[in-house]
Structure 1
Amino acid sequence: MLRKFLIAALATLGCTLSYAQEINFGIISTEAAANLKADWQPILDDMEKKTGYKVKAYFASDYAGIIEAMRFKKVDVAWMGNKSAMEAVDRAGGEVFAQTTYADGSPGYWSLLITHIDSPYKTLDDVLKNAKNINFGLGDPNSTSGTAVPGYYVFALNKVDPKTAFKTARSANHEANLMAVASKQVDVATNNTEVLDKVEKRSPEIAKNIRVIWKSPLIPADPMVWRADLNADMKKKVKEFFLSYGTATNDQGKLEMARLNKLTYGLFKNSSNTQLVPIRQLELAKEKLKIEADANLAAADKEARIAEIDKKLAALNTSLASAK
């Protein structure tokens, strides 16, 4: 009887211990999973060795899949963009703990509009004036550089709805959009400097067919996000791994830096949810412009909704000031 009890108890504990000793690492779908796996797997292998946890890569077909996986505790730690990290914090119990930097020393990256090198469109103004003739490639709905940033700077500020303004508009990840532009399947698409840089190194014959026609203000470098409810020991080991990765001056440190550089990254640095404030401000500003332009909204309702947004913006400004 005691033996049966012990076996049952150990089986239950075995489930818990197995989960506690494993990290499911989510990777947003900026490009084909095969390319992402090739770039990230050496780092995840190092993470496994240094933390003592089994580390498994988790891919989904879109950003929402990683966010939902974190929500249902199928993903413990993830590389995300700022917009997807914001969704993970708000809806999936996520928490920013580190931030990437870039190999060239840049503190962030840029959203782009790209077209084929032979395209007649050379400026943002050309694109907006000829929208009805353009097949447009939008980014993933939860992408910072593919949707949130151009959504404000390109579309909201110019009072344009990208879903109705163009001849056609469809969403895809950055790599798919770049390939579609290069092969003239779409005329113009959103993208970012990080993916363009990787394609220039990996497939220069494709990159030479791309022309950049718009570049955004600087976007903060990508955050690393974990589930806020992870145990303290796992958090400690994971954070120590990222903040020390590539910092050694020996051969191993140089190898680690080479692996980061392949991702276009430099060293990781400490971060928190405060990193997401600029993106929250951007989303609220975009919503405010939309409300202001809504002719069907009653004046009193419009005033109340704008006042609520202004209140949220003021609170974000206060949180940024207190974080400095």
Structure 2
Amino acid sequence: MIRKTIASAALAASMLVTGMAYADVEFKPLEKDPETIVFGIISTESSSNLKAQWQPLIDDMEKALGQEVDAFFAPDYAGIIEGMRFGKVHVAWFGNKSAMEAVDRAGGEVFVQTSKGDGSNGYYSHIITQADNDKINSLQDMLKCDHSLNFGIGDPNSTSGFLVPTYYVFAQNGVDPKNCFKTVRNANHETNLMATANKQVDVAANNSEQLARTQMNKPEVTDKVKVIWTSPLIPSDPMVYRKDMSRELKSRIKAFFLGYGRFGDVERAKEVLANNSDGMGFFMESSNAQLYPIRQLELYKNKLKIENTAELSADEKAARVAEIDKKLAELDILVSYE
């Protein structure tokens, strides 16, 4: 009875935190399991680069499942989220922020997460500038806010390119990028790195995975940039599937990922993983719970934004902050049961 009560309380808190109730589900339900599984890949870099990294794994997945698996690329993260929402994407590689959107709005469910080739988990957000820029060596140098600098930020659904720097770099310092820089432009990690190296932007958000991958393939590019800020550790990327597929199909998909590199043609799988991103290791079991820290980060970011805005009255601020504090308390309950 106690365990059932705890589980019910956790479920209720989870629904409140995500802002969803079963009657408010926005995604289009699947009528049946897909005959062709569509694998969505977020646009961290060019589609050609991503296809070269992911297609071998997708081919192996197709063989293992005995079912056609097609890759799907979109020009931005939202395209993959919306594809899953309308049942056009069934499995996808996301970052944590985009996975949170997929879980809340697109009928998604986290089932495994990536790891590094050395067995470690997580990665870092960075702020970068040109290696020969002796005027910018720290956040203090960047946040002078005299509208002289061009800033490259990530996709709005990117964890390391947008959410993390928005909270740690800007919200915690009471800075609105639009009121600080000459221009602010959104782009994927690869584009922001190249734009910084080629002096098309002065500073940009990036991450440790993109820098490491580019260092492996194009060291002449990373030699042109330097890191001026590094975030706390970010949880490794989640894999998400549509939660309304049959238990049997979800089990087979999950088994493929958890077995990849552990069983079967181990050497091929390890080579495929090593050539993906900055070198992947095995997939590890996970769940929607890995998104709790990201939800907290999003709420703290919104709380700071409300506290620093001049457009709201003191009473309006207090009411909105109280609502966020309530959601943060609910998250604390969920985290305590992990």
* TM value normalised by structure 1: 0.91
Distance in 2 between residues matched to 1:199 and 1:214, nearest whole Å: 18
Aligned to 2:273: 260
Letter in 2 for 1:36: L
Native 8 Å contact 2:37 2:89 kept in 1: yes
Cα displacement (A) at 1:262:
1.5
Q: Which has the larger radius of gyration?
A: 1
Letter in 1 for 2:202: D
Native 8 Å contact 2:112 2:286 kept in 1: yes
3-state secondary structure, aligned to 1:225: strand
Aligned to 2:314: 299
Task: Output aligned runs, 1:83-94, within 5 Å.
Answer: 83-94=97-108
Correspondence for 2:110 among 96, 114, 127: 96
Native 8 Å contact 2:119 2:282 kept in 1: no
Q: Are 2:42 and 1:28 equivalent residues in the alignment?
A: yes
Correspondence for 1:107 among 121, 124, 138: 121
Task: Output aligned runs, 1:234-313, within 5 Å.
Answer: 234-248=249-263, 252-263=265-276, 264-313=279-328
Percent identity reads: 58
Structure 1 runs not aligned, ≥5 long: 1-15
3-state secondary structure, aligned to 2:104: helix
Aligned to 2:220: 205
Correspondence for 1:173 among 184, 188, 199: 188
Instruction: Output one character per residue of 1:115-158: Cα deviation in whole Å (capped at 9) or x when no partner.
Output: 11111311111111255211110100000000000000000000
3-state secondary structure, aligned to 2:147: helix
Distance in 1 between residues matched to 2:64 and 2:198, nearest whole Å: 43
- Paired residues in the alignment total 306
Structure 2 runs not aligned, ≥5 long: 1-29
Aligned to 1:39: 53
Moved more, 263-272 or 56-65: 263-272
3-state secondary structure, aligned to 2:265: helix
Q: Are 2:245 and 1:230 equivalent residues in the alignment?
A: yes
Distance in 2 between residues matched to 1:77 and 1:24, nearest whole Å: 6
3-state secondary structure, aligned to 1:137: strand
Q: Are 2:334 and 1:319 equivalent residues in the alignment?
A: yes
Distance in 2 between residues matched to 1:184 and 1:87, nearest whole Å: 33
Cα displacement (A) at 1:17:
11
Native 8 Å contact 2:261 2:282 kept in 1: yes
Distance in 2 between residues matched to 1:173 and 1:316, nearest whole Å: 30
Cα displacement (A) at 1:296:
2.8
Aligned to 1:9: none
**Cα RMSD after superposing both structures:** 1.6
Cα displacement (A) at 1:22:
1.2
Task: Output aligned runs, 1:128-167, within 5 Å.
Answer: 128-129=143-144, 132-167=147-182
Aligned to 2:7: none
Instruction: Output one character per residue of 1:158-188: Cα deviation in whole Å (capped at 9) or x when no partner.
Output: 0111122101110000000001011111111
* TM value normalised by structure 2: 0.88
Native 8 Å contact 2:40 2:73 kept in 1: yes
Distance in 2 between residues matched to 1:307 and 1:145, nearest whole Å: 27
